[in-house]
Amino acid sequence: MIKEEEIKQEIIKNFSYLDGKIRVQRVRRIFVDVPYENFDEVFKHLIKNTGFEMLCTITGLDEGATFGLIYHLARKDGIVLNLKINVPKANPIIKTVINYFPGAIMYEREIVDLFGIKVEGLPSGARYPLPDNWPIDEYPLRKDWKPENLNQKMEKK
């Protein structure tokens, strides 16, 4: 786990406030909890300076008062860094990462459709993965979502 520890130290060297928020879970798996307001600078640094040039996916979580988003970044040597932010549920807005990873457009559309998180800079386009007649403001991966009358709402659209 020498490479993982080197990556951890590189991150701490550039972002001292992350000391204590990085853990090497096992070989080739690093987890970093990043404050919401610092996500952009940490994300850019990781992809430009530490070899994390692949975005595997983005995982969304409803954690009660916040939404957790985990950006799974990978390097050619197989090390995966899981960069997690907590987005306030009261005003769930993130910035798109499609300028760095064009394929992220599908992951970001999922986040919009399934959680109702606004993605600034995401171009307009077809919904994904929900159908076009899915009701507005119905987000099925939110813990407080209730599917009552869903069929009736879809028929009205």
The predicted model gives 52-68 an average pLDDT of 97
Predicted pLDDT of residue 148: 82
Report d(CA 63, CA 74) in Å as an integer: 25
The class level of CATH for 2-156 reads alpha beta
pLDDT exceeds cutoff 80 at 156: no
- What would you measure as the largest C-alpha separation in the chain, in angstroms? 58
65-104 pLDDT, tens digit each: 999 999 999 999 999 999 999 999 999 999 999 999 999 9
